[in-house]
Amino acid sequence: MDIDKFKQVNDTYGHAVGDQVLQVTAARLSALFRNDDIVARWGSEEFLALLPTTEISDASSIAARVLDAVSAAPIVIDNLTLHVTISIGVCSMKLELKDRGMSWQEVVHIADQSLYLAKRNGRNKAYGIVDALSVTSAEMAHGLRTNHNEGKVKLLEVFGSALATPSTLQ
């Protein structure tokens, strides 16, 4: 998960405001997940959630809840009101390729590719890979978009409610 346009927040309002945006977003995310889930700050404005007892079939509803929880209310800092959204990439730890299972590093990489797909397609969205049984590990290296366009992987696509209309996959 990645806070949309976070660099712009830091550049416009300063790192102290950016830090408060991170704290509020982290609190909103933490409130959504169960005790056996792990939510961590993964990078600058990125968060990673590991949901060990969740099936990929629940990914769309969870992603929708996360998108809505982050964007539902503006973040108010002093007399500043910020409307914050988040983009999400999803991949199952149980994802099987045509020729083998995937390592956790590969799963994180695929989730990251899915996240960037959400960013490229308008932000405040979630994309994830839900089926890759038609693609080998070598073919997966060609990228998520290529494999999707060739019909080799199935993607989930979730839009935040703050969007007026969903855009098409690019």
The CATH number linked to 146 is: 3.30.70.270
Helices (H), 75-141: 104-120, 137-140
Residue 97, in any domain of the structure: yes
Is there a catalytic annotation at residue 45? yes
For residue 13, with 0-12 CB atoms within 10 Å meaning exposed, 13-18 middle and 19 or more buried, which class applies?
Answer: middle
Residue 40, in any domain of the structure: yes
Residue 131, in any domain of the structure: yes
Residue 167, in any domain of the structure: no
Domain span at residue 77? 2-159
Bridge partners for 126 per DSSP? 88, 158
Task: Report how many domains make up the chain.
Answer: 1
Residue 168, in any domain of the structure: no
Question: What pLDDT tens digit does each residue of the chain (170 aa) get?
Answer: 999 999 999 999 999 999 999 999 999 999 999 999 999 998 889 999 999 999 989 999 999 999 999 999 999 999 999 999 999 999 999 988 889 988 999 999 999 999 999 999 999 999 999 888 888 888 888 888 888 889 888 889 999 885 433 333 33
Active-site position among 45, 46, 55, 106: 45
pTM: 0.89
Per-residue tokens: 69? 């929880």
Residue 169, in any domain of the structure: no
Residue 93, in any domain of the structure: yes
Residue 166, in any domain of the structure: no
